[in-house]
Structures are given as C-alpha cells and as structure tokens.
Amino acid sequence: VRIWRTARTQSEILSTMRWITGLEHNPDLVAWWKFNEPGDSTDHGHFAMHTKALDASGHGNDLSLIREPRSMNTRITVPGTKGALLNTGLLQFRNNFALQKQASKMPGGSFTVEFWARGGAASDDAQQQRSTNLFSYATESLGTGNARTGFMDDALRIERLLSEQTPMWLEHRVSTVGAIALHINSNEHTDSEDSRSWVYYDAGWLDDQWHHVAATWDADSGTAAVYFDGKPTTPFWKAEGGSRSTVHPDDGGVDPIVAPRSNRGTDGSLVLGQDQDCFGGCFSSSDAFKGDMAVVRVWRRVLDISEITQNMAKARPNSNDELAALYI
C-alpha cells in the first residue's frame, strides 16, 4: 500500500506497481506499507502475526495492526449468592488478545484454570460465530526423561461453543450451543486424529452475563472436569486416541478421561482471547473472543469444588499453594 502526495499518471503507476524496493525516501511518497516485516529478535519465524507494519518510505508512518485489550475496573455479581459482589479489574477483548510468549512454570501435569468471562449471547443462527477461545497454552509434549517429543498447539485450551458443531449423523447427538470444550495435551493443527484429545461439557452458557469457569485435569487418572458458576457440568462428547464418543447428558454423559499420564512442557506460549495454531501465532478472527475476562488463575494442582466456590468471589485466593499465575 502506497500513498503519494502527487497525482500519478497511468505510465508512472504501471512503471512502479510491481516494485518491492527502490522507492525508499522518495520525496513524493508519503507512506509505503509492505506488510512483510520479520518479527523481533525472539520471533525466529514462528509467529504469523506481527503487531506493527513499518513505513518503508522512511517517513515514520508506521501502522499498529492490533490494539491491546483494554483494562478497566468492574464489579461482578456472583451467581448463587445473596448479591455478593467481586470488585476487580477486567480485560476487554475486541478481536485482539493478550500474549505471553515466554510463560514459565506452567502446569506440566495436573492443573486447574479458572476465570470470570462475559461474552455475547449464543444462538443456533447459521451466521453465528462458530466458537470463541478464552484460554490457550501451547508448548511441547514431554516423553521419557522429559525429552521434548513434539509440538502441542492445544496443550491446554478452553473454548466456548456458540453454534452447532456435532454432525447430524452422530449417535446420541447433543447440541453444542453454549457448551464448553476443554482441550488437553492435544495437537489439533494436524491431520492425525490420534493427536487430538478434548471433552465437550454441557454448560448451557447461552447469555451475555458474567460467569465463572473452572477447568481441572488430574494427570494420573486423566479425569477432566468443568465447573460453571461453581457447579459441575456433564461431559457429552470427547475425542481420545483416534476415536470419538458421545453420550447424552440425560444418560450420564461420556467418561471424562483423556490423555492420562501425558506431560506437557512448563515453558510455552500463553494467550488469552485467541487460539494459537502455531507457537504464539497463526491466529484467526473466527476464533477471537469478543467480551471481557477477569481474575484468571492457573494452578499446578486440581482444586476441588469447595475450593473453587470459596474463591469465586475473591480476587485473591485463600491460599497460593501451587498457584502458577494470577491475573486480576
């Protein structure tokens, strides 16, 4: 994209329209954005999205390609209480994301991730956004002796489903509208079904109000759980070991065991508000979260339901035991 301070003739336009260099510091050129800049010194070619387009004309008219999430104070009415209020901060997402490329000391085994979130109402409208991603951690899988054995774009991902996704032919078909999907030690940016492990939960997240989400996974047993506003939800669809299964919540749901005794790296890329299909990047606007998040906590252990409900109305938990990250 070029902006000139003169009215260029057809011959002038044709003579330079394919030039990728040679016009730098042209006195008549106001701005020139090539959109091909490499990343910063920590990029090493892994990140598909950059935050700034440099002005190649030399006039300094750089473009910001993304606006950081906006922070502000908020007051959340805690569901299931007699009007208890949580006074805290929030991040407002509008097709953007919060990124920490070098997250450290993240859970390598068992975990709990919990947060408050408020997004748009879900519906079965065909034009509705398919899903919205709230939490994404990418790293490498670990084998014997903690040897790195492969990339996992969905080492830990929490997704809210906004539209119908289950195939019409699927036995025990359950609507995915308002469901929460938990992806664990999974690599979904691949054609291999064996690399995918996820569970869908019947959360019924249909409205545009604040809700508390807590996801847990026990590394030894592989048992995964999702709590919505402090209440357990029923898993009804899962992928594990190359196969998929579904059981209606009214019939008890599926066995929520996925990826038992698998490990992930404790250093990786953490993203709020998007789904990373490569390490720290490869974002798509169709995956973006439009809404607000508050009080994000990451634990290196499984919290029981009493701990989750006791801390829901607090910005800071009663105990920091194995707390890996806290964003308020």
Q: What is the pLDDT of residue 48?
A: 43
Q: What is the pLDDT of residue 66?
A: 72
Rounded to an integer, what is the distance from CA 36 to the centroid of its chain? 25
Please give the Cα distance from 25 to 316 (Å, whole number).
Answer: 54
List the chain pLDDT tens, one digit each, 328 residues.
999 999 999 999 999 999 999 999 999 999 999 887 665 555 443 344 466 788 999 999 998 777 789 999 999 999 888 888 999 999 999 888 999 988 999 999 999 999 999 999 987 665 678 899 999 999 988 766 666 667 889 999 999 999 887 665 555 567 889 999 999 999 876 656 667 899 999 999 999 999 999 999 999 999 999 999 999 999 999 998 888 888 989 999 999 999 999 999 999 999 999 999 888 888 888 899 999 999 999 999 999 999 999 999 999 998 999 999 999 8
C-alpha dihedral (31, 33, 38, 42), degrees to nearest 10: 60
Pairing of strands 131-142, 268-272: antiparallel
Q: What is the pLDDT of residue 87?
A: 94
pTM of the model: 0.83
Q: What is the pLDDT of residue 270?
A: 96
Q: Which residues pair with 235 in a beta bridge?
A: 201
Q: What is the pLDDT of residue 191?
A: 59
